[in-house]
Structure 1
C-alpha cells in the first residue's frame, strides 16, 4: 500500500486519489479539475454556471468541488484485487 504524500506533490492531471484533511480525515476518490458537465446540443444552449467553476479538488462520487480547503496529504488509490 502506498504511503501518504505531501499535498504539494499530488497529481493535477485528473488522476483519482485519496486526500487527507487534518480535521476531517480521509476524503476518498478525488481529482484536481472541475466537475464533469455535459451541455445539451453540443453546448449551444447551456445556461449553466459550471463553465466558470475554477479548478479545485473534486469529489468524484458527488461530481462537485469538495467543500473542504486545506488538504495536507494525498495517496494513490490501491491496486484492484487480482482475479484468480
Structure 2
C-alpha cells in the first residue's frame, strides 16, 4: 500500500479487504490477491474522500453548474466591471445590474439563468439580456456577481411522513 495515503484509508482498506476475503472463503484468495484488493479498496476510499473534501471547499465560479442547480456562492459586486474597457459596452453583469436590484456582498444561494429579450417598437430593435447569476428564488430580479462557489448540502432527511 502506498505510504502517501492517510492511515485511516489504509486501515479501512485492510479491514474491508479482509472482510471480503472472509466472505469469499479464505481458501479461494491468496495473500497477493488480498494485498491487491486492499490497495484497490484503499484507492477507492481515498478518491471518495478527496471528492467529498473538494465539494466542501470554495471553487472558482467558472466551474459551477449552469443548469439551474442552486449553489452556495461568495458574491462580490465590484469583482467584475459594468463596462467592457475595450468597447465601452455593458458587460453581462453590468447589463443585469442596470435593470435589476443586486444582492449584498458575501454568501448567497444563487442560480444561473434569466435570459430574456424584448422588442422595442419605437427603435425597431430587439434587446437581449444574457443568462447570469441571480439570487435563488428572486424570479431573476436580484442579480449576483459570484467569484466562488460550493455545492449546497443535501436537505435534511424526513423524520416522519408528515414532514414536507
Q: TM-score range by the shorter chain?
A: 0.5 to 0.7
Distance 2:144 2:113 in 1: 15
| Offset from partner CA, 1:3-62 (integer Å, 9 cap, x none) | 22111111111111111025721012x111117x9xxxxxxxxxx84x833100021221
Q: How many residues align?
A: 70
Of structures 1 and 2, the one with the larger relative CO (CA 8 A, separation 6+) is: 1
Counterpart position of 1:12: 66
TM-score for the superposition, normalised by structure 2: 0.36
TM-score for the superposition, normalised by structure 1: 0.63
1:82: how far off? 1.8
Aligned-residue Cα RMSD (Å) equals: 2.8
What stretches of structure 1 move > 4 A for 4+ residues in a row? none
Question: If each structure's helix is expressed as a fraction of its own residues, which one has the higher value?
Answer: 2
Map residues 46-61 of structure 1 onto 2, 5 A cutoff.
49=118, 52-61=128-137
Map residues 1-84 of structure 1 onto 2, 5 A cutoff.
2-22=56-76, 24-28=105-109, 30-34=110-114, 49=118, 52-69=128-145, 71-84=146-159
Q: Larger C-alpha radius of gyration, 1 or 2?
A: 2
Distance 2:65 2:142 in 1: 16
Distance 1:8 1:27, change over 3 A: same
